[in-house]
Every structure is written in structure tokens, then in C-alpha cells.
Amino acid sequence: MKQGIGLTVGVVVVALLAAGGGYWAGNKGTSSQSHGAATTTAKPEKKLLYYRNPMGLPDTSPTPKKDPMGMDYIAVYEGGADEAPVPENQLKISTDKVQKLGVRTEAAQMRNLDKTVRAAGRIEPDERRLYTIAPKFEGYVERLYVNVTGQAVSKGQALFEVYSPELVSAQREYAIAVQGVDALKEAASETQSGMQQLAQASLLRLKNWDISNEQIAAMAKSGATQRTLTLRSPASGIVMEKKAVQGMRFMPGEMLYQIVDLSSVWVIADVFEQDIGLVENGAKVKVKINAYPDKEFAGTVTYIYPTLKAETRTVSVRVELANPGLLLKPSMFAQVEVSVGAKATAVTVPNSAVIDSGTRQIVLVSHGEGRFEPREVKLGSRSDTHVAVISGVKEGELVVVAANFLIDAESNLKAAVGGFGHSGHGAAAPAGKDAQTTTTQPAAKGASNQAEGTVEEVDAKAGTISLNHGPVASLKWPAMTMEFKVANESLLQTLKPGAKVAVEFVERQQGEWVITSVKPTNPHAGH
């Protein structure tokens, strides 16, 4: 009896323990599940809003898609940094790409642009220091005292002796006239006056032949006629040319010597047409000569020639400089640097900040977080490092000064500038997908272009195709995938996905490329 009661009690205890263990285990499991639920609600999944264009264009999509360049649209989540769409006049590049590209910015600043105008030139003699010895009478060279080209002479130094029958006759007439004046001192006044006039005429004739006063005085004093006459140098300098030969006959006006004073010389610099407006008379100049690389000569602009050389589009500028030691030789090559300063301060950016397409100039203004605004600017004068901005950029704005061309390649800047519709950037943006058309090189509207590629997608309703084409040489396009319109619906019949075709297309309006002709190509031919 007692044994049965004990067995019953044992069963009850086991049942209670089992129930308690189950209750404890159940509570533990519930607690774990509740903790897990709490953890899940602590990090709720963000709500997807839309997908935006990767190039920053005003185009969104509720579903994932690719742009004509083959780039995936970027997901935008509720509360995320990309919730606000990129403004139409800006483009955006991810911050990691910005770092990889090495983008560097600098603030536009007010400064006075000092520029150095550089030009090539040549040493030439000072024309005011060039002397020619050419007797005004006929005669013969009796003797040469200076008989070498390049010889240095001083002022008044004897050059050569000449014999001239005319000179002998003129001397004789003058001597007789002087003697007559002395002999007729007691004669009537009219007779004295006539003789004095004859003496003056003979004296004037000798002076007109460049006979020096000292030589004339010697002839008058001695009364004797000299067979030869010594001609002397009119200035100190170098004999640049010598045609006189002993015994030769010369005619009136024939050049026998040419002497130049090289203590001061000219540099004739050829300044380019675009720089001539900066050069003024009186500007200080630095001159360097290849023969003396360690020396620098200082000069001054004294004259700007009034004509332009059509062959070189340059204007000659005359620079005067001293020539100590006669180091500068005529016809030497010279490198000229003219320092010019701006007339007033202006907003400036580094030269590297400007992207020049040849038809307009673009500057990228940074708005932070990988956002860049392309602006068309009007430029003024330039220095070696900076350029003045007349309009388009304000003082203090950050402009991209390094890797701007890489941003151009990365973000299809030219298409963005053409499609943003930003004031000053040309036509308004085409609607929808057309705003994304790549235009890496401006082309005349209506000009026909050719390309070969593979049809990726055909949209018969919209009248467009997506074509993966090779390089287009006429537009300097690289190989890429982009969207085209077709000129008429009949062309869509020959355009099927996967078809390899050769197409002709034109730009009907800004950023709108239209296929006008389609021909199938050999599937095995390269593109």
C-alpha cells in the first residue's frame, strides 16, 4: 500500500517538473524571439523612393534602368543623402571618384594681373649712330690709313688720302681770292666787295665738299695748294664696310667707308598680335642673349612700329639698350621679356580652371559633395598663371583647377552643359532621355555622320533605338551605347535587337541625333 502511494507521488513530481521545465523553456524562447524582434525594429529597412539619373540629369525612374551610356541609375532611399534631386544646372560625381580623379579646387580671387610678354628679337645697329663716308667730288684714292673691315676708329682719325683735280682747282681759287682781298685793302669799296664775294664763294665750295675748317684755315694761311686731301672719321666706331682700295677712282657720292657706333644698339623684337596692346613706350625690358646665358641686359621700349607682318602676325617693337664692352653684335638672336601690368584688379581664376572648346570657355564651380556646376565665362587679360573673368564667376567661389578635364570625361560635361538649359549655356534642355545624348564634339547641324554597331533595344512606340556603336571619327566620339531617333518608322523594320548595322545620322537640333539611313553589315566584321 505504501509502495503504491510512493509511486503515485513520484509520477506527480515528475509531471510537475516537466511542466515547469516546459514553462521555463517556453518563456526563454519567447524572450529570445522578443529580443530578436526588438533588434529588427531598431534597424528598419529604408524605403526606396526612386532611381535617379547617374549623370545628375533631371530624370528619375520607379524601377532600375540604365542610361544611354550603360550606367545604372542610382537608388534613392527615404531620408538618404540623395533624396533631393540634383539641380538641372549641376552634375554629380560620387565622392570616391572625385578622390580618385584628384580633383583640386581654388577660390576665385581679386588680383592685379602682371604679365610678361615674351618675344624673339635680333640685335641691330642704332640707325642714328651709322655714318657713311662718301666724297662729294670725283677723285682717286692715293693712300689708305684704315685698310681693314672691323677696325675700330676714333673721331677725327685719318681714313685715307685722295687726289682730285677739282679739289686742287678749288683750293687754288680760294687761295687767289684770299690774296686778292689782302691786296685790295686800299681799293674802292666796290672792288673790295667783289673780291670778298669771290673769296666767300670759293670757301663755301670747299665747305660743301666737307673740307674741315682746320684744313681750310691751313690752306688760307700757307697760300699753297695741296695736291692731296686727308679725309677723317666723323665719329668713333667700328668699320662695318670698306670699299676703298688704294689707287681706285671714285665718283661723287660713292660710299667708300661705313662706320657704326655700337656703344648703344637696338633690339627689334617681333611681338605677337594678341600681345601688342599690352606693350607701351617706356616699358622696361629684359634681354637675354644665347651667347651670354649668365648675363641679362636692361633696355627700354622706344618705338612700336605702325605695321604688322602678315606672314608671322607680329608687330616690330624697338628696344634701346646700352652695349658695354661691345658684347652685343649686330644680327645676334635675342630673347625679349616685357613686363606689363593690368590697369585694374579683377576676379581671376587659374589658367588650368578654364576648359576651352574653341567656341566658348567653361569653368566648373564646386558646390561640395561631388556636385559641380559648369558655367560659361567671359575671359579678359591673362598672366602666366591666372586669367581675369569678366563674367560667370564671382569672387570667393570655388572652381576646379585640377582634373577638370577628367571630370569632363567622367560626367559627359559637354552633354550636360548643352542640356542643362542653364543661362548662358545655349539652348534649353531637351525633354526626357534626349537630354542625356552624348555630344563630345560640336558639329554643324545637318552634317551627316556614319557609325557601325549592334542594336541593343528598339522602342517602336517612341520611335527610338539603343545602339552600341564603335568610334565616330567625324565627331571624335569613343565607342559607347546611346539612344537615337529614326527619321521615319519604316527604318524600324530593319532594326532588330542584336542586328549589326551601319547607320548614317545627323543632329536635327541641340542634342537630338536622328538616324537617316540603315544598312546591314557582316556580323563578323569589326566595328
Helix 213-222 and helix 189-208, axial crossing angle in degrees, nearest 10: 130
Please give the Cα distance from 385 to 407 (Å, whole number): 21
Strands (E), 204-263: 228-232, 237-242, 249-250, 257-260
- The per-residue pLDDT for 55 is 61
Q: Which residues of the chain have pLDDT under 50?
A: 1-43, 81-83, 414-416, 418-445, 525-527
Please give the Cα distance from 419 to 439 (Å, whole number): 10
- The per-residue pLDDT for 13 is 37
DSSP-derived letter for residue 112 is: -
- The per-residue pLDDT for 1 is 41
**Grid cell in block for residue 56:** 545628375
Bridging pattern class, strands 346-350 and 371-382: unpaired
CATH top-level class for 264-341?
Answer: mainly beta
- The per-residue pLDDT for 46 is 65
pLDDT in tens, 137-192: 899 999 999 999 999 999 999 999 999 888 888 878 877 777 777 777 777 777 77
CA distances from 497 to 289, 487, 493, 525 (A): 69, 18, 11, 17
- The phi and psi torsions of 41 (rounded to 5 degrees) equal -70, -20
Q: For residues 300 and 283, is the Cβ–Cβ distance under 8 A?
A: yes
- The per-residue pLDDT for 260 is 95
**Grid cell in block for residue 216:** 681750310
pTM higher than 0.85: no
Please give the Cα distance from 507 to 513 (Å, whole number): 5
- DSSP secondary structure, 276-333, as one string: GGG--TT-EEEEEETTEEEEEEEEEEEEEEEEEETTTTEEEEEEEEE-GGG---TT-E
**Grid cell in block for residue 208:** 660743301
**Grid cell in block for residue 313:** 602676325
CA distances from 195 to 183, 219, 444 (A): 10, 18, 92
Q: Can you give 389-441 as a three-state secondary structure string?
A: EEECCCCCCEEEEECHHHHHHHHCHHHHHHHCCCCCCCCCCCCHHHHHCCCCC
DSSP-derived letter for residue 491 is: G
**Grid cell in block for residue 8:** 503515485
Please give the Cα distance from 64 to 391 (Å, whole number): 41
Closest of 388, 403, 408 to residue 347, by C-alpha: 388
**Grid cell in block for residue 27:** 518563456
**Grid cell in block for residue 389:** 573673368
Please give the Cα distance from 206 to 424 (Å, whole number): 80
Torsion angle in degrees (nearest 10) through CA of 59, 65, 71, 73: 50
Cβ–Cβ contacts within 10 Å for residue 175, how many? 18
Looking at residue 146, its amino acid is: V
CA distances from 74 to 49, 96, 100, 417 (A): 11, 15, 20, 21
CATH for 437-520? 2.40.50.320
